[in-house]
Amino acid sequence: MIETATSEVTQEQPQILLEGLKVLITSDQTQDELVSKLANLEVEVQWQKIPESLKNLEETFTFRHVKPAFDFAEQQGLDLVIAIDSSSNKFSIGVRKSVEGGFMLLNIHHTSLLLAKLLLENHGALNCKKSIFITDLLDKLFAKYQAPVTTLAYLSSPLSEQETFQKSEENECLFISENQEINLKGQNDSLGYLLSRLLMAAKKTKAENQTLFDLLIGTYQELGFQREKNLAVSIEEPTQKAFFKKIMARLKKKPPLTLGMNEIVSIEDLSNSSLKNLLSGRIVPSKSPVAPALQIQLSSSIRILIFPHGDRINFFFTSQGRQINKDNFSTISQQLDQQVIKLIAEINRLGLEN
C-alpha cells in the first residue's frame, strides 16, 4: 500500500512593496546644503531649477510656477515637490492626492496646518504668531494643545526684519506672515528643520500607502473644514480709493440686510474693536486685532475680511462647516471660488449706489 501525503500550500497575499520617499526641490538657485541635509533622512532628493522665480516679496508660488516640476515628478515617479524662493525662504509643497495620484499644490493654510500639527505633536512648548490673513483653524489647533497663538493685523515679509519677530523672546515660536512666509524662530535653520518635519511625515504616510494629502484631510476632519481665499485689488488711483472708501462707510453706517442671497449676521469693525449683530442689534467687544478693517459674517457660514492697506484692498474669504473627504475636496474648493466672484460683485454694487 502506497500512502500519498498531500501538503497544504499556504497562499500568501501579494504585498505591495513601496519604494522610499522621492523628493524634488525646485528653486531659482541650487540648494546643495539643503539637499544634503534632507538626504540624511534616508529619502531620495534631487534638485531642478524653477523656470520662473518669484518677482517680489508679495508674490507667492502658484500652479503656473510649479507645473513643470509637477510634470517632471509625474514622469519620474516622485512623491513630493518643494518649491523654494531663495531670497525670501518662502516655500510651497506639491503633494500627490494618493500614492499614485496626480499632484496638487498646497496653499499657505494647508501647509501651516500640517506643520503646526506636526510641531505641536513633537514639541513640549510652542507658540504661534500669525497674520490675520492666515487660517484661524490654527487657533483651534493650538487650543487643543493648550498652546498660545496670537493673530496680528500686520505681519509682513521678510520676517527677520519685523520688530515683532526680532523682539519675540519665546524659545520656539512659529511665525506665519501675510506674504506666506513661515519661520520657526529658535531654530538656526528654520527652513531645513520645517522641511525635514514634512518629509518625515511624508515618509511615514507613504509607508502606510498614504500621502500628506491624507494627513491634511484627517486634520480637517478633526478640526472642521475651512476654505480660505485672499484677493488683493489695486486702489492706486484716487477714484479707486474713493470707491472702496464709500463701500466701507456704507457697511459701517447703514449696512444692507443681505449680500446677494446671503443674510448678513454681523459686522465687526476692527478699527474700534466692536462687533454688531444685525439680527439682534447687540454690540459686543471684538476679539480681533485693531486694524482699519471690517469683517462680515454671512448666514451661509462665509466670513469676509475687508482690509485696505496702502495701495491695495484685501478681501479675505473664509468658508466654514462643510464635511470634507478626499473625493469632494476639489469640488468644495471650486464652489467657494464661484461664491467669491458673486460676493465681490455684490460688494462692488454698494459702491455704485447713490
pLDDT at 16: 44
Q: DSSP secondary structure string, 89-154?
A: TEEEEEEESSTTS-EEE--HHHHHHHHHHHHHHH-S--EEEEETTS-THHHHHHHHTT--EEEES-
Give the 3-state secondary structure of residue 298. strand
Contacts of 45 (CB under 8 A, 6+ apart): 23, 24, 25, 35, 38, 39
pLDDT of residue 4 exceeding 90, the answer is no
| 18/16: higher pLDDT | 18
pLDDT at 5: 36
Judge contact between 35 and 57, C-beta under 8 A. Answer: no
pLDDT of residue 353 exceeding 60, the answer is yes
> Averaged over 28-32, what is the pLDDT?
93
pLDDT at 7: 35
Domains plus CATH for the chain? 22-223 (no CATH), 226-352 (3.30.310)
- Lowest average pLDDT, out of 72-76, 101-105, 335-339, 346-350, goes to 335-339
Burial letters 307-325, b for 16+ CB under 10 A, else e: bbbeebbbbbbbbbebebe
> Averaged over 284-292, what is the pLDDT?
96
pLDDT at 6: 35
What whole-number percentage of the chain has pLDDT above 90? 79
pLDDT at 112: 97
Interatomic CA distance for residues 237 and 228, integer angstroms: 28
pLDDT at 18: 55
Give the 3-state secondary structure of residue 26. strand
Helices then strands, each counted (H, E), the chain: 9, 17
pLDDT at 172: 85
Q: Is the pTM here over 0.75, yes or no? A: yes
For cell 502606510, name the residue: 208
Interatomic CA distance for residues 91 and 84, integer angstroms: 4
Give residue 323's pLDDT band: very low, low, confident or very high (50, 70, 90): confident
pLDDT at 265: 97
pLDDT single digits (tens) 104-159:
999 999 999 999 999 999 887 899 999 999 999 999 999 999 999 999 999 988 99
Give the 3-state secondary structure of residue 86. coil
What whole-number percentage of the chain has pLDDT above 70? 95
- Lowest average pLDDT, out of 13-17, 139-143, 205-209, goes to 13-17
pLDDT of residue 1 exceeding 50, the answer is no
